[in-house]
Structure 1
Amino acid sequence: MSGAATTGAFGRASAMPDDARAHPWRNRIVGPSDTTDRARVQRIGARFVGCGLITFTVGLSPVIAARAELTDAWWPPLSAALVVGPALLVIAATYRPTLRYQTALAALSSIGFLLATALWFVAWDGDVAPGHSWWSVWLVQFPGVPGLVFGMAGRYLLAIGHIVVATFLAQTANQLGVYGHLRPELYLGSLVTIALTCVFLAVAVVTVRTAGLLDETRSAAMDAAATSAASTAKEAERARFAALIHDKVIAILLAVDVGRPRPGLGTQAVTALDELDRRDDEPPAATTGVDEFVQRVRTAIAATDDDVERELSINRSASGRYPGEAVSAMIEAMCEAIRNVRRHAGAGASCLVVGDFRADRVTLAVVDDGQGFDPDRVPPERLGLAVGIRGRMTGLAGGDVEVRSEPGRGTVVIVKWVRDGGS
């Protein structure tokens, strides 16, 4: 395996893949992870519009310089700053964890453009553009673009208002700079500009709304799944009670006769009451010995991935039997962590399972030297970690899970079970 060496969990030396070293830089470029598709679309769209405003301004710099003689010297640099400055703030805001300031920055971008256009009338010296030029004010080339920031923020009426006002204001300034007076028939071209800009606005509106619908659909699907799971659990509990009543309670009642009850009937009654009182989230009565537990771990590792190494330590100083639910939950969580290594750790990543079996506790750790990730930025739709590992272990009495990872330094997933009363 190529790459720089780094210290992995449990004192093992691991290797950092070459492509993982650039991962932190990719995070800086992409920005924070979003929990919804709507926020992701708004973030990307705002960057696109902000970059467009900057690109237009830079690309039109020769034009700005060529028409500088029509205004006072302060207007060209100020107008460029009023367009570029808010655009930079819009882009910078997309790298914050939330987009709460997007509407305010859209307003700042709109006001900056309108102010730059209005100040042209103050700075204009009364001359007209030489020759047969069709324009004299560089802002007339893209008057509606700042309004698209409103569109990405979901403020559609404000977006339309900016597009209309900015287009007519820029057209008025441009006509004065070209002809020295207004020509009403040329405002028909402004209607075309407004219509074309509104097409882009409509695309932005549909994209944001579609992303919002996807979020709502995903949320509804997860709620429906939770409701279905709860209903299934209730049916299973009802079936369990029915079986206990039929197989034990009724059988015990039928065995009661006049006189002294037969030996063992009292013990059976106590056992039946205990089972009736047991909740679904409590461990079942069945237990597993340490040797069988270790063998099941080995078998599960081999069935999930033949390439995974293992180091299993068994403390035989005291015999231990473990609840069957704890055994099943730990093995399933371990297997999900192994599958995640193959899905996300990157090509060439190696994996090791370290196990520690004691009478009062069990620890299974899945260690890899892959590209790693930021556990706090895992999207909620990634159910493998949230449900398959964390949900399974935190829902287990005595269960716990710990995830240690960072970009470029591998991952350690530790699933634990501690018997009640253990320390």
Structure 2
Amino acid sequence: MAKSRFWFQAHWLVGITVGVLLALMGVTGAMMSFQDPILEALNADARKVTMAGERLSMPDIIERAQTEAQRMGARVRTVTAPQSADSAVRVLFLSGPGEIVRYLNPYTDEWQRGGARGEKFFEIVEEIHRGLVTDRIGGKYVGRRVVDAAAVLLVGLVATGLYLRWPRRLTNFRAWFVVDRRLKGRGFLYSLHAVIGTYVLPLLLLSALTGLYFAYDWYSSLLERMAGVPPVAEEQMAGKPLVAADVAKVWSAFEQATSHERVGQISLRLPKQAEEPLRIQYLEFDPPHATAFSTIKIDPTNSQVLSHVRYADKSTGARLLSSMLSIHKGAYFGVVGSVLLMLSSLALPLFVITGWMMYVDRRRVEERQRARKQKAASAATV
């Protein structure tokens, strides 16, 4: 009994203190569940093109992007060609401390107008989700560390919640999965809180544990060791500037390396520093999920392939780890997975509300009981 009371006190204390933060994380996480399709729909006028004539080759697209970068006084960072033939090519430019995204029509060689409608909004939502918009204070990730700690506490809330709601009879289906609408007041709130918690418990645990992968190096290293994934080796570069690269030769090396594969989306990332290799990530034409990337790293100074890691050749553990963000969002499991993870995130505000209502009601009852005892004690002394 004493143990149950201790865990009960711990559960509600964390719930009424950190609960508001967890509710905020849940709402923002739910908002980002379908971020990509929402942005595609909002910017269809700029991101969709009419297929007319011959499509530009990737070397031509890169050359066009570099010409535009010189005009803007910026640098090309990534060039992404989607799988769909009627999609514009996305180019990310680095301009000082900021980034600029432009969309190129690969058939007309013209830059599209717009294409970033709604992106600022989702950037703010993501910043709230990851760091409470106070991501950097005094050069430290203060907000992010708070969010990371909240994710750890969410694991604790899930575990203590399961312990506290364990029914006397394990096989009592109704106690586990049916809200008792005959109850009133705090009893009904508890039934609602506990039953919905049972449904979303594995999903909340999945969200918390996958989110921690990006929060703590020791945790990600532990998972990588458990999965048998070796540390990423840094490729050695000649240290020559990127202007020495022959884009056509680099692209030829990529095409030769993937000649036996049916390639879909391609994202080419140019080095920030001369010592870095040129990295190309690509998806199969019909990928299992949106982050099933294979990666090729090429020395831009001599067009030699430094490494080629195919997603299909990875071990099961390595595939899961490389898809951790997709798992965290639910996209790894398709549309159904995204919907379920979104609903579980939206359940967090419900837990906070019902938890607070039960807490306030309990305090009210305790105050009435205390008042009655004091009144009885006063009457006894008269």
Q: Same fold (TM over 0.5)?
A: no
- Give the greater-gyration-radius structure (CA): 1
TM-score bracket relative to the smaller structure? under 0.3
